[in-house]
Amino acid sequence: MNIKLIADSTCDLPQELVDKYNVRIVPLSISKGGQALKDGVEIGPADIFEFMDAGLGICSTSAVNVAEYTRVYEEERGKCDAIIHFVISSEMSSGYQNARVAAEDFDNIHIIDSRNLSMAIGHLVVDAAELAAEGKTPDEIVGKINEIIPLLDAGFVIDTLTYLHKGGRCTSIQALVSNVLNVKPSIVVANGKMTVGKKYRGKLEVVLRKYIDDKLSLHENIDTRRIFIADTMTAENRPLMEAAKAQIAKTLPSAEIYETKAGGTISCHCGPNTFGIFLIRRK
C-alpha cells in the first residue's frame, strides 16, 4: 500500500529525513511587516531575527488554512492509497481543525493531532514511515502513533524572554527580571501546551550543559533509537552545538542523534540561541 506522509513545517524535520521518507512539508504562513511569507521557503530564522533586531516589530505564525490543505490533498490523494498528515498540537494552533475540515471531502486521509511541536512531531513522522515500510495499514500506523504521542518528551531552553514578551506571552517585568538576572527558562510541552519549566541561570554554555544533564538524567527510560535536537543558534554560538551533541553522545552512546535548525514557529516565539531536545520515553 502506498501511504503518503504529510507534515506541517512546524515539524522541523531535517532535509535528509524529508528526502529519505518522501515527506511532503506544508509551510505555515509567517507574517513579517504585514507580508505573509511561507515558512522555510520564503523566510527563515535569520530573516525573523534581523527584522526584530532592526526594531521593525515581531514576526508571527499563522496556521495553514482549509483551502491550502484542500489543494495539497487534491494533489496527493490521486497518487497514493492513503494519506497520514501530522500537525502541530491542536492546543497551539487551528491547523488541526482546518485539516480535519479539508479532509472531509476525501477518503482515507488520517489527521494526527501530535499534541506537540517541532522535532517531537518529527519523531512521529519517522516512526510512521518505518511502520509503513513494514507493510502496516494506515489504521495500524495511526493506532501505533497514538500510543507514542503520550510518550513524547519535548522541551527547550531559551536565551532571552524578549520574543515571548513582544509576542504577549510574558510580562515586561518577567522579561526584565530574566534578562537582568541572566535567567534562561526552559519550556516544556505538557497536555498539548507550552509551559514554563525549570529556570536556569548563567552563561548559555553552562546552562546548556545543565539542561542536557537534566533532560537525560533518567536515561534508562529513553528510547535511544534516535534523539532529535533543534536550535536557533547564532553563528558565534554554533560551537555550542558540537559540545551539546558530544555530551548527549557520551550519555547515550547507542543513540543516533539528528540535528536541525528550528523553523519559524520556535524562532518567532523564542528567538535566537534556543536549544531543544526531543525524546521518546519508554513505557
Query: What string of DSSP letters covers 64-106?
Result: PPHHHHHHHHHHHHTTSSEEEEEES-TTT-SHHHHHHHHHTTS
Looking at the predicted structure, is the pLDDT value of residue 62 above 90?
yes
Residues 9 and 79 in one domain: yes
Boundary of a domain, candidates 133, 150, 167: 150
Taking CA atoms, 57 is separated from 174, 175, 188, 274, in Å, by 20, 17, 26, 19
Q: What is the pLDDT of residues 230-245, one digit of tens each?
A: 999 999 999 999 999 9
Q: What is the mean pLDDT of residues 5-11?
A: 96
Residues 142 and 156 in one domain: no
Residues 132 and 235 in one domain: no
Q: How confident is the model at residue 181 (pLDDT cuts 50, 70, 90)?
A: low
What is the radius of gyration, based on Cα positions, of the chain? Answer: 19
Looking at the predicted structure, is the pLDDT value of residue 266 above 90?
no
Q: What is the mean pLDDT of residues 243-266?
A: 93
Residues 145 and 156 in one domain: no
Residues 228 and 129 in one domain: no
Q: How confident is the model at residue 164 (pLDDT cuts 50, 70, 90)?
A: low
Boundary of a domain, candidates 106, 122, 150: 150
Instruction: State the pLDDT at residue 58.
Output: 86
Higher per-residue confidence, 179 vs 36: 36
Q: How confident is the model at residue 171 (pLDDT cuts 50, 70, 90)?
A: very low
Boundary of a domain, candidates 103, 128, 150: 150
**Residue % of the chain over a pLDDT of 70:** 93
Q: What is the pLDDT of residues 35-44, one digit of tens each?
A: 999 999 999 9
Q: How many Å apart are CA 17 and CA 259, to the nearest integer?
A: 11
3-state class of 262 per DSSP? coil
Instruction: State the pLDDT at residue 165.
Output: 52
Instruction: State the pLDDT at residue 177.
Output: 44
Asked whether the beta carbons of 20 and 128 are under 8 A apart, the reply is no
Q: Which of 59-63, 114-118, 185-189 has the highest mean pLDDT?
A: 114-118
Residues 79 and 112 in one domain: yes
Instruction: Identify the domain containing residue 139 by its residue range.
Output: 3-150
Query: Greatest CA separation found in the chain?
Result: 57
Residues 42 and 127 in one domain: yes
**Residue % of the chain over a pLDDT of 90:** 75
- Bridge-partner residues for 190, per DSSP? 193
Q: What is the mean pLDDT of the chain?
A: 90
Residues 170 and 61 in one domain: no
Residues 191 and 266 in one domain: yes
Q: What is the mean pLDDT of residues 94-112?
A: 97
Is the full-model pTM beyond 0.95? no
Q: What is the mean pLDDT of residues 163-172?
A: 51
Higher per-residue confidence, 53 vs 127: 127
Instruction: State the pLDDT at residue 182.
Output: 73
Q: What is the pLDDT of residues 115-148, one digit of tens each?
A: 999 999 999 999 999 999 999 999 999 999 999 9
Residues 157 and 146 in one domain: no
Q: What is the mean pLDDT of residues 74-79?
A: 95
Looking at the predicted structure, is the pLDDT value of residue 48 above 90?
yes
